[in-house]
A and B are shown apart, each in its own frame.
Chain A
Amino acid sequence: MAETTLSVERPGRLKEFWYYFRENRGAVIGLYVFIGVFFVAVFAPWLAPYDPTEQFREHLLQPPAWQEGGSWAYALGTDALGRDLLSRLIHGARFSFFVGVVVVVIATTGGITIGLLAGFAPKWLDTIIMRLMDVILAFPSLLLALVLVAVLGPSLMNAVIAIAIVLQPHYVRLTRAAVISERHKDYVTSAKVAGAGRFRMMFITVLPNCLAPIIVQAALSFSNAILDVAALGFLGMGAQPPTPEWGTMLAEAREFILRAWWVVTFPGLAILITVLAINLMGDGLRDALDPKLKRS
């Protein structure tokens, strides 16, 4: 998420942003972990010791290296089909990243466009759009996504689309609220007087001044997306086996929870660490971008 921020801020503000962001030690740690996970995701095929779907039949449910019966050949142990857990976790990072990025891109572009429209539209259209968003928000997000995926057919891509649709209304509300508070400011009036067209007004004059809360929300949805897609995978409605997606891995591991703690512990830990790092970063972004919200 930091990358997006960098491109929209001007150099002077970038420095200022970094100055405030650096103040928050948790946020900086979060950023480093996030970058680390990103590299793991990018270089997964070179980092992983084995292919994530390769089955070593002589080594079923082998415990991690430091426990009795484990070996460093399979550092974090193997699952019920003899697949190397570490390799699967490393490849899993790719899916989580993919999910986070795609969901944020779909939800932000859709949400910002609709939000801008609602903010500038005549009252009747605004009302229709906002009621529609209320309707989507009335459903618990995971339930709505679950039903959407059930109808579309379970797959990682459908899970991603469903989560993006469910998260979108938050962006619409945020963008619209920001647009409405900006719309009557003097600089907007002057742009109008200078003859700016409607689209220029929306995307070039007003939008850059509404970005701060949206960027913070983007960090939040990145982590939400990872959690929700893992939850869908866990319920069998996301990525399908043998995909090494973390939630799907947990679902496969469920029946071994009392026999092989490692097949359950590590995938969940990977989800928790990634989500925690992003949320830490999100808190830092909020503090650095929005002095009004500065509380922690």
Chain B
Amino acid sequence: MLNFLLSRLLTFIPTFIGVTLISFSFIRVLPGDPIIVMAGERGMSEERYNELRAQFGFDQPLFSQYWDYMTGVLQGDLGTSFVTKKPVFDEFFALFPATLELSLCAITLAILLGIPAGVIAAINRGKFFDRALMSSALVGYSMPIFWWALLMIIVFSGILGWTPVSGRISLMFYFDDVTGFMLIDSLLSGQAGAFKSAVSHLVLPTIVLATIPLAVIARQTRSAMLEVLGEDYIRTARAKGLPPSRITYVHALRNALIPVITVIGLLVGTLLAGAILTETIFSWPGIGKWMVDSIYRRDYPVVQGGLMLIAVMVMVVNLTVDLLYGLINPKIRKS
């Protein structure tokens, strides 16, 4: 196990360096001068151009720029935003709870609906339920979620008037940040209606963000269940006369869940990509919207730092899933 752990950690380091190299080089190596782009159509004088170049260190050789950047990164300094003049690192962690709250709600919804849907489809293989569930899953999987979000707004906010269109909570309420999670903070504040407001703001973004993960989990659960249900030990359990529900939910599902858990781990990237669109549409103040806004504003330190932090986060989650998987499944550990 220790060997497995070490070898995984060792591959983490070069990937981390690669990630910093990519987010570093985006601005500097690719065609297109960030300063000219920043100036936009108005253009800028030669002195101002040189001044800005010096300010960002673009006049230094690439290697020494990277060295400076990395020294900063390792000390938790990712530069400061052009627009807000705040450190990128602080901004990221101030906005991160909003994205985490939304993503956790979405993945929970996806798991709670996706796994039962997959199991029901598998035990009714080829019958009506299976077809209906798997067709819906394929539609969900093919869904352009930015359009799905707009449709939800039309129906639930426009026609029915049930939910607000944007933000995390109604402006009527104000309370201190304790955990950063609006659901918990609104409860802690003790203000009447605050929790309800937070929930109603959260519902639509959660459904939208959960759509693709839900479809992926349902499809994966179904195929894993079908595979497991064909195994000899299931036949033995049947022969022993165990009740079918016990066989399905205790014997089969436990083993079928292993690949499903891996897939859930891999969905982190999908969730973050989805968060970019979902947060933009619902004006949800998380890192997805922050990245898109920074790209529009050409706030390069934020784009560069945010890109790196997000990638590192995805890597850490994938590594954790890998390690957990190794813990559950000795076959992986040994190979």
Contacts and interface: CB of A to CB of B under 8 A. Distances in A.
B201 to A, nearest CB: 18
A175 B106 CA distance: 33
B19 interface: yes
B269 A140 contact: yes
Interface stretch (B44-52, B67-75, B179-187, B273-281): B273-281
A151 B138 contact: no
B18 interface: yes
A113 B134 CA distance: 35
B294 to A, nearest CB: 9
A140 B146 CA distance: 16
B147 A268 contact: yes
Contact of B315 (A138, A143, A247): A138
A280 interface: yes
Nearest to B271: A140
B295 A147 contact: yes
Interface string A228-272: 001100111100000000010010001001100100110110011
Contacts of B147: 250, 264, 267-268, 271-272
Contacts of A57: none
A167 B293 CA distance: 24
B270 interface: yes
A272 B153 contact: no
B310 A140 contact: yes
Contacts of A296: 134, 222-223
Interface residues of B, number: 55
B98 interface: no
Interface string A129-167: 001101111111111101110111100000000000000
B40 interface: no
Given A271-B144, A295-B227, A147 B307 contact: yes
Nearest to B135: A26
Contacts of A142: 273, 276-277
Interface stretch (B27-35, B167-175, B191-199, B250-258): B27-35
B151 A264 contact: yes
Interface string B143-155: 1101110110110
A295 B226 contact: yes
A235 B145 CA distance: 13
A276 B137 CA distance: 11
B246 to A, nearest CB: 24
Nearest to B34: A151
Contacts of B273: 140-143
A265 to B, nearest CB: 7
B272 interface: yes
Given A134-B11, A272-B143, A150 B270 contact: no
Contacts of A223: 142
Contacts of B296: 236
Nearest to A278: B142
B124 interface: no
A134 B291 CA distance: 22
Nearest to A283: B138
A135 B22 contact: yes
A275 interface: yes
A57 to B, nearest CB: 26
Nearest to B298: A150
B161 to A, nearest CB: 11
Contact of A264 (B27, B134, B150, B277): B150
Given A141-B273, A152-B31, A295-B226, A135 B144 contact: no
Given A140-B276, A147-B307, 8 more contacts: A135-B19, A138-B314, A150-B295, A151-B27, A231-B144, A268-B151, A272-B147, A296-B134
Q: List the 7 closest A-B pairs by CB distance, nearest first.
A: A268-B147, A135-B18, A142-B273, A140-B273, A275-B142, A276-B142, A140-B272
Interface of B: 11, 14-15, 18-19, 21-22, 26-27, 30-32, 34, 37, 134-135, 138-139, 141-144, 146-148, 150-151, 153-154, 157-158, 222-223, 226-227, 269-270, 272-273, 276-277, 280, 291-292, 295-296, 298, 303, 307, 310-312, 314-315, 318
27 contacts: A132-B18, A134-B18, A135-B19, A138-B18, A138-B19, A138-B314, A138-B318, A139-B19, A139-B22, A139-B311, A140-B270, A141-B269, A142-B277, A143-B272, A143-B273, A153-B37, A230-B146, A231-B146, A235-B280, A235-B292, A236-B296, A237-B295, A247-B146, A264-B151, A271-B144, A272-B139, A276-B142
